[in-house]
Amino acid sequence: CRNVSANKLELSLSTAIKKADSATMSSEANEHPVSHDHHKQQQLAAMDGPAAVPRPIQIVTATYGEDGKGKFDLDLPALEQLLLNDRIRDHRVAVVSVAGAFRKGKSFLLNYFLRYLACISDTDGGGLAGSCGAEDWLGSSSQPLRGFSWRGGSERDTTGILLWSEPFLVTLAGGEKMAVLLMDTQGAFDSQSTVRDCATVFALSTMLSSVQIYNLSTNIQEDDLQHLQLFTEYGKLAQESLESAGAPFQHLLFLVRDWSYPYEHGFGEEGGRALLEKRLLINDKQHHELQQLRRHIRQCFDDISCFLLPHPGLDVATDPTFDGRLSAIHPQFVAQLRLLVPRLLAPANLVVKRINGADVTCQELLHYFKAYMPIYQGDDLPQPKTMLMATAEANNLAAVAASRTVYTGLMEEVCGGERPYVAPDKLLDEHRRCVDDSLVWFRKLRKMGGPEFSAQYEEQLSLDCDEAFEMYRAHNQSKNVYVGMRTLSVLFSALLLCYFLAGFLDFIGLDPLANLCTWMVWVLIVALITWCYVRHSGNYLDLGHHIDAFANLLWDKIGCPLYVAVTQKAAEQAVGFNMARQRQRSSSSSSAVPAVGRPKRD
């Protein structure tokens, strides 16, 4: 029976699936009205036709735009044809996936898995099995290796995520049949994939598989663990959006290829267990970052194991005509391969796919595919970064913080707590000078990423300084004595005005208006006393802000216009009075001048 958390997950998944189905059908109907059904009919004809043979099918395709940005799409018709087959749809399923760096032999290894499953299951795998038996499932030493696409060389061969088209039905000890799916994945860290692409493929395959084989070369190194931490954290974020509970993933197998130190740890599972214990050991002498990484990995998986494989031989690595024949492979590799494959795929060792403690059938696995894919196609998940980009970002952010401290120190010298009030224009000039000095300091600091990368952080520094300047401006304005006393002067002036107005109105017999002015006098007295208390004690600051706002409103709407009008009227009268006096003086002086040339009388 499913537990409560499983029901909760199913509810969230059903919502996500409906959205995904509607978006998918709408998009396909708009772009290609009949492409969905046509594709599905082609798949049915190909799978059911007499010429159909088992093959790898690409269920998640990777496409890259002109900007190099990768996009992953789910081939829903192909996946439905695979998982909704009447032969397996209601059976529990085990999904074995191989993931890791590109050109490390993942597809090559999966083809031996195909041989083993074709031998022990009810499916012949299209003739992939040799002469079946307990020990000879590897087949003839001259039989070429077929199945998933593989080849030698240095360029990548697999893209996206592939599943083998014919699921294997394996009979368990109790007689129950279980479906087994093999999953091949795009190699990480090639020249065309971004960190997000690598994280998406690894996380998606880990979320959907019951056994994730982490394919490594020569050793388990610290950078391998760091990449695993990044990829699994990416998968955990996706699962959190679907409200899943418990350990995010099931079984992780560190498969170390080309192990060259058998004198330290022997080949196989025992040597792998000893190496894994050493690599994941946590002790007090380790840096906190290393301890946290190891705790993270242990908490992400229900079970973790390791297997050490020897090198398959120089002929395998250097011969371009090598076709997978056992005769060309080193016997030591073949011997360990005989141990590894049954260790994973024997009926007693199969790990059924479980989510939130509930076993998953093939039909239910289809729903999880449909629910998980839109998460990685959208922009809800954060953009993972390379170690260089993450370090350069932290380095530039530290430089921004240091340069902002320089700006703060310079501005404190200009208008800090002990400094007097500074005129607004002068303060703005000082702000610009301090910003320039902080930018010079930022450019002097050694930073990673180059000038183009640092340009965005230089712009961020300028914005941060502008925001800080607004606080300095407000702090400087509070030092202005006249601004600080505005509320007091406005309230006191209004109080005197209302008092004299009340007396005048009472004198002329307008008692109702006189009573209103008297009431306003008492309100202003209470407001004035309250404001003085708030300024003195620092209590009830919100009330003080409201009184300041009321005083500012009185000043802006009544006091300031009245002051301007009175000042302007007084200036006009003063100018008129001066002009009148000048005209009077000029007329007086002209009348006092005697007439010239007039004879005197005796």
Q: Does residue 510 share a domain with residue 374?
A: no
Please check whether residue 229 is in contact with residue 293, taking contact to mean a CB–CB distance below 8 angstroms.
yes
Q: Does residue 359 share a domain with residue 415?
A: no
Residue 512 lies in a domain: yes
Q: Does residue 570 share a domain with residue 425?
A: no
Q: Does residue 475 share a domain with residue 517?
A: no
**Between these two residues, 436 and 599, which has the higher pLDDT value?**
436
- Residue 499 β-bridge partners: none
Which candidate, 245, 274, 247, places its Cα nearest to that of 261? 274
The pLDDT confidence band at residue 564, using thresholds 50, 70 and 90, is confident
pLDDT digits (tens, 9 = 90+) for 219-242: 998 888 888 887 788 677 766 655
Q: Does residue 447 share a domain with residue 360?
A: no
pLDDT digits (tens, 9 = 90+) for 368-425: 888 888 777 766 555 555 555 667 787 888 899 999 999 999 999 988 877 888 888 9
The type of residue at 397 is L
The pLDDT confidence band at residue 255, using thresholds 50, 70 and 90, is very high
Among 431, 452, 479, which residue terminates a domain? Answer: 479
Scanning 161-217, the segments in alpha helix (DSSP H) are: 195-208
The pLDDT confidence band at residue 129, using thresholds 50, 70 and 90, is low
Q: Does residue 445 share a domain with residue 331?
A: no
Residue 468 lies in a domain: yes
* Euclidean distance between CA atoms 335 and 333, whole angstroms: 5
The pLDDT confidence band at residue 544, using thresholds 50, 70 and 90, is confident
Q: Does residue 428 share a domain with residue 352?
A: no
Find the CATH number of the domain harbouring 417: 1.20.58.420
The pLDDT score that the predictor gives to residue 578 is 79
Among 338, 363, 384, which residue terminates a domain? Answer: 384
Q: Does residue 394 share a domain with residue 317?
A: no
The pLDDT score that the predictor gives to residue 49 is 39
The pLDDT score that the predictor gives to residue 300 is 86
Q: Does residue 372 share a domain with residue 489?
A: no
Q: Does residue 458 share a domain with residue 438?
A: yes
Residue 88 lies in a domain: yes
Q: Domain total for the chain? A: 3
Positive or negative torsion for Cα 343, 348, 352, 358: negative
Measured CA angle at 219 (ends 331, 228), to 5 deg: 125
Residue 130 lies in a domain: yes
Q: What's the mean per-residue pLDDT of the chain?
A: 78
- Count Cβ neighbours within 10 Å for each residue of 565-583 and write b for 16 or more, e otherwise: eeeeeeeeeeeeeeeeeee
Q: What is the largest CA-CA distance in the chain?
A: 168
The whole domain housing 128 covers: 4-384
Among 455, 479, 503, which residue terminates a domain? Answer: 479
Looking at the chain, the whole-number percentage of residues with pLDDT higher than 90 is 20
User: pTM for the complete prediction?
Assistant: 0.60
Q: Does residue 365 share a domain with residue 280?
A: yes
Residue 595 lies in a domain: no
Q: Does residue 424 share a domain with residue 564?
A: no
